[in-house]
Every structure is written in C-alpha cells, then in structure tokens.
Amino acid sequence: MLSFSLLKATACLIWPSSGWTTCGQKTASAFPTLLDATLDDLNRGLSSGIFTSVDLVNAYIERIKETTPTLNAVTEINPDAVSIAETLDLIRRQGGPLLGPLHGVPVLIKDNIATADKMNNTAGSYALLGAKVSEDSTVAAKLRKAGAILLGKAHLSQWAECRSSNSSNGWSTYGGQTLGAYYPFQDPSGSSGGSGVASSVGLAWASLGTETAGSILLPSDVNNVVGIKPTLGLTSRYLVVPISEHQDVVGPIARTVKDAAHLLGAIAGVDPSDNYTSKFPFPKTPDYAAACVKGGLLGKRLGIPRHVLHDPQEAPLSNYSVTVFDSAVDILRSAGAEIIDDIVLPGYNMTEISALLTKSLHADFAVAIEKYFGQLATNPYNITTLRELRDWTQHDSREQWPEKNTLSWDNNLAEGLRNTDPEFWDVHLRLLYLTGPQGYTGALKNHSLDAIVLPTAFAVMNAAISGTPVISVPFGRHPDDTEIIKDKTGTLNAVAPNLPFGIGFAGAPFSEETLISIAYDFEQKVQAREVIKPYIKPKSDLEDIASHNHITDRLSGLSRNPAHRFTAAVSGNLVPLTVIKGAGHEYIPLPEGENATVADFHSIRTNTKDSPAHFTSGFYKIVAGPARPAHYNFEETKYVLNGQIDILDEATGITHHLVPGDFAFFHVGSKVKFSTKSEGLAFYAVTRPVRVPHPNLKGREEDAKSKL
C-alpha cells in the first residue's frame, strides 16, 4: 500500500551547517560517496539526520557483498552490526551524549584482532575457527568505547604471513584469496591486505591492520590508502594473534591522513595487559587529528638516505617509485621543508638484517603463540603449542597441506630457538643496534631531523625492527605501459599498470603528531586519490541504500532541534496527519489534488487488503491530534496504539517508527502494513495520546514503543 521514498524527486533540502544542497538538478549530493567519504562527511550526515548509522551499515554490507566475488576483502560481517547501529541511532535521536568521536561509524578490523562477540578470530586458519576469548581485545574495546560499530573482519594472509613460503599475499585457507582493486589479479600485499583493499574501495569508513614487518605499510602502499605503523607501545596488542612481542603493532588504514589520525587516537594508550604500552609518554592520548593543519611541512628537516634506494631486495618491484621519487622531494621542498639529502644509515645491511630477523621472529612466535592459545576461553582443537599447530595443519585437509607448505614453522621447530634463550638476546640486540643507533633513530638524532622520507616500500624494515613510526601517503601510480611482474607464486600481479605507490615518512619513537602534520600537508599538495582510481569498485552507495528508508528517520531530529533549518519544495501544504486503518474495505477517498482527507481526526483511511492506499504522494508532518476523547466503539476497534505508528515496508523489510514531530514523505507504491499486536481485522493508530479511551478498551492499549 504505502512506501516511503527518499526525498529527492519532490523536495529540496538545504542544510546551512554543512553547505549541502540538493534541489532539482543537484549541485551536490546530500549523501557522500562511500568510495571517498571521510569521518567529517559521515558525522555531518549523521548529525544532520540525512542518513543513519543503520543506513551506513546496510550500505557497507551491500558493497561488501557486491565486491566479495572479485576482491574478497572481508572474511565475515558482524551479525550484530545492524542492531548495534540501531542502538547508536536511538542515542543520537534522543539527544543523549554520544559515546565518542566515532559514534555510529562502521569500522573493519583485521581477522587476527579478537572480539568477545559472535564473530570469529581465525588468523585465516580453521585451527581458530570457533575459538573464543572472554573479553574484547583492548583495541576492539577502545573502538567500541569511541562509539565505532565493528562491522566485520577484514581478510589477511594466513597467520599474518607466518606459515608458508609458497603462498601468496592475501591468501588463507579460511578466507581464500584477496585481490587489489587497481588491476585484475592485483597482489594486495600483506598481511593486512583485506584491510587495505576494504579501506581503498569504501567497504567501511576505515580499518585496523597489524604489522610485524610491513603488514600495514605495504598494503597501504599498493592500495592507495594511508597507513600508520605506530611506535611499538603506542597501541595495545592484547588478544591480537601474535608473531613478535618485540615488533607487533596495531594501526589504522584509512583513505586520508586525518581519518587515520582519528582512528589512531581512538586506539592509542596505556594497557595494563600489554607491558610495552607502559612506555606511553603522554598523560593523555594526543589529539592526533588536530595535527592535520596546513603548513605542516614548513621548516621541517627531512633526511633522505639515497643508498637505501639501491637495495636489490626491493628492485625491480619498486623501480618506478624510485624513478619518480625526486618529484615528491620537489613537492616537499616547495612546501617549505629543508631537505638533508644523501644521509647514510651505517647499519643498513639487509643481508645481515634479514638473516637475523628470521631467527628473531621464529623465537618470538614460538613463545607468543603458546601464550595466545592459553588466553582462549574456548579452544576447539586444544592446540597449545607451535608443534601441535603444525601437526594439526598438516592433518586437516582444509588447510591445503602440502600444496601450501608449513616451511616457516618447520624451520622454526628445527631451530628450536625461543625468546627466553641467551642466543635470542644476542640476535635481538644486534638488530636493535643496526636499526637504532646505526639506523633511523641515530640518523634522526645526528642530523636533527623531523623525519626520514623514502618511497614506502623502502621505509619498512628499519622501523619495524627499531619500533619506530612510519606513515605511508598515496603519491603515484604505475604508467599504462608498465610491464607486468608476477609475485613469487606466479599467480598475482605484483607490478602492473595503474598500481599505486606511496611515500613513507619515518620518525622517532612517539613522534606520530609530527609525522601526521608532515603527511597531511604532503597529502593536501598531492591529492593522489583524486587521480588514481580503481579499475573495479562497488556500484552500491549510501544514497541507493538510504532511499529505501523513509525520510522520517533522517529528518525526525530536525523537527526537534531548532538549530536545524530546512526548506521543502512539495506539492501541497503540510497536513496534520493521523493514520487510521479501517476495517474491511472502509476508506475515505481523497479529493483530486489534495494530499489528505481531513476528517474528524485529520485522518487517512486505507484499505486492509493489498489494493493501493487512498491518498496521494506528499510531504506530511506528524502532529498530535486534538485533546478530546476518541469516538469509536469496541466493535470498530480492537486495540489502540498510543503515541507511535509502526509501519513495515514489505518491499524492504524495514520497520519505520513515526511519532509526533516527525516529517514523512509518503510515496504511494510498494506495500506496507501497520503494526499492532491485535490479531483482528481492525485497529486504530493515532499519533496523539488517547486522553479518554473507551471503557471497553481500558488496559488494552499497546505500549507506545511496541514493534512488530
């Protein structure tokens, strides 16, 4: 009978606070495009009431479903995401204090960050399917406290690249293969490939990744997004599936520097469950987003260790980013940065560093994975050690062994080194020396630098080992005539036309504010996301999804908040409206050209059958009726619905709740039905309290908040 349509064809909304305008031939959409939507965009729409958190969740879910056959970036959608969004919408609608700066904003987290809800935390392996923890990981709990909606789990390389030598980036047995969006069969990089791809094409506002040695920075580099690998100890790793307690970090992946800064601020801070965060030097978490101001490069001293650019381990995969690197340097210099060129990192010997690092990570993982297994409240296969994990993997056909080997674990077990052994500390201290005093931290101090700048792919290893921060910012793309280079498995395209790459800014421990100010200014000068576009992206968008929800839910806050003003171009006048569903085929036809039949209670009667509703499309305000007894009798009416009309749109399955003060755009079209608990044919739905109900109905009124 009835349906509610987004007010776009027959109404003009003007929101002075945001500058959005939509009227006839629109100059700008009232809905941000999710491919590039920022936190400011989403908060503006949510606070204005033009869309809801439920709209956002549903839109992102549609985009995830649409891209999964091609990109496969998301392992699992939180089954409670919509209900959580409804709760957060209600808080906003009732004017209650918002939970935090991310109130009602959907975020994806990597599938190695545990949550104490209905979602799994698999690290890409069936060995952890069904495993449960007794509480959220600290970063997940912090996101909830900030008001974020945990939308789902982003795919990852199995065990964060810590199992096989012959598996591809973004592959796992549980999740399958993730692909990048900038060229067919693009290597998404790893291990946070799902987080990088999902953020890049707008499958959530932003995502969390984890890094041991490149797993935030490299997916950000090739997926045209901003990644922040924070200082070791800035963010907690509690209940995150580990590799190395000496290198693991959790950090944001987002489309802009400012959004990444917002997300970093939400998860940073001291955690008694992770003793590395005791190094957190601030009395309270800095406002990282406040560092996003123009002029951040002015006067900054930036060092360039050019000898690093000739590292044979990176060539030829990064040759083009090296070729155009000087154009990035020119931008930095023109923005007022002082370039200290050709500095030297004496400890940069990747042959030695790589050999030592393998030993170090093996020793760390053997101990850390045992600790994680011991923290599980439910351990479905009772795996407690690395050896048991290796053996289980080799005997469960779902794990695709031996097609995908377990060489990393085999070598680890053969070495038998643990991070409690004296030999480990010799290795670890040597690594810290090569990458600290002889690496980034030494160069930053010796040259009085604010940051070291390199193509992102070259900025990874030193910072990973020394525990220092790096931000990757999108910069360029490979030209159309780029020769394709396959990955190590021969299945994915590691280099190809249109593949993005970024510039990395590395700093001293806990210098994230400085790096963010530098990165933001560089981003504003370059605006790479404006010109580098994916070859495939979701077609579903927020406007498409929100148009299925009636305008009441998006405008109800306006009628209650005098600070909001809007103008509406509609056919006809605003009509006080009470909706009565009559018994049988009773109805009052509308006179031609009128929006509503103004009857005793300014009522509209509709047919109880599936024939069209007997009123025209129009824009109506729901108001309380006159303060007088209702005249009806028990034979005419079964129940009374006090104060609220619930309408189920059968075309979409969405229930809309109308109360006095709401504005509703009614469009005659798809079927709806009104809601009561009555099983009879007739009921009376009013938007005013019934002052003197019929004696026969006393005590039979429905609660004002009753739903289907």
Q: What is the CATH number of the domain that holds 435?
A: 3.90.1300.10
Region 119-133 average pLDDT: 98
Are 506 and 629 in a shared domain? no
Q: Could you tell me if residue 643 is left (phi over 0), alpha (psi between -120 and 50 degrees) or otherwise beta?
A: left
Instruction: Assess if residue 61 is contained within a domain.
Output: no
Residues 479 and 606 in one domain: no
**Residue 695 backbone phi and psi in degrees, to 5:** -55, -35
**Shared domain check, 283 and 214:** yes
Q: How is residue 28 written in tokens?
A: 């700008």
Tokens of residue 189, six digits? 């990089």
Residue 507 domain-assigned (yes or no):
yes
8 vs 296, more confident = 296
Q: Is the pLDDT of residue 618 over 70?
A: no
Tell whether 491 and 599 lie within a shared domain.
no
604 close to 616: Cβ distance less than 8 angstroms: no
Statement to judge: residues 143 and 273 lie in one domain? yes
| Average pLDDT across the chain, whole number | 80
Dist CA 90 CA 513 (whole Å): 35
Domain-embedded: residue 63: no
Task: Write down the H helix ranges in 53-109.
Answer: 53-67, 81-93
Binned at pLDDT 50, 70 and 90, residue 316 comes out as low
234 conformational bin, left if phi > 0, alpha if psi -120 to 50, beta if neither: alpha
Return the pLDDT at 310.
Answer: 86
Alpha helix ranges (H) inside 346-406? 350-375, 386-395
- Scanning the structure block, which residue is given the tokens 């931290």? 441
Residues serving a catalytic function are: 110, 191, 215
Beta bridge pairs of residue 312: none
Does residue 561 form part of some domain?
no
pTM assigned to the model? 0.77
pLDDT of residue 319: 84
Residue 48 within any structural domain of the chain: no
Verify that 331 and 387 share a domain, yes or no: yes
User: In terms of C-beta distances under 8 Å and separation of at least 24 residues, what long-range contacts does 84-92 make, across chains too?
Assistant: 84/149, 84/150, 85/52, 85/53, 85/54, 85/56, 85/57, 85/149, 86/53, 86/54, 88/53, 88/147, 88/149, 89/52, 89/53, 89/54, 89/553, 92/46, 92/47, 92/53, 92/557
> Domain range for residue 240?
68-530
Same domain, 466 and 599: no
Q: How far apart are CA 618 and CA 5, in angstroms?
A: 10
Q: What does the pLDDT look like over 580-601, one tens digit per residue? A: 333 222 333 333 443 332 222 2
**Structure confidence by residue, pLDDT tens digits, 485-527:** 999 999 999 999 999 999 999 999 999 999 999 999 999 999 9
Please determine, for residue 675, whether its predicted confidence score (pLDDT) is greater than 90: no
Residue 201 lies in a domain: yes
User: Is the backbone peptide bond immediately before 48 cis, with ω within 30 degrees of 0?
Assistant: no
Three-class secondary structure of residue 225 per DSSP? coil
Note whether 336 and 393 are same-domain residues.
Answer: yes
| 72 and 25 within one domain | no
Of the pLDDT bands very low, low, confident and very high (cuts 50, 70, 90), residue 86 is: very high
The verdict on residue 55 lying in a domain is no
Q: Is residue 566 part of a domain?
A: no
* Whether residue 579 sits in one domain with residue 515: no
334, 401: one domain: yes
Number of domains in the chain: 2
Based on the domain organization, do 6 and 129 belong to the same domain?
no
pLDDT digits (tens, 9 = 90+) for 191-209: 999 999 999 999 999 999 9
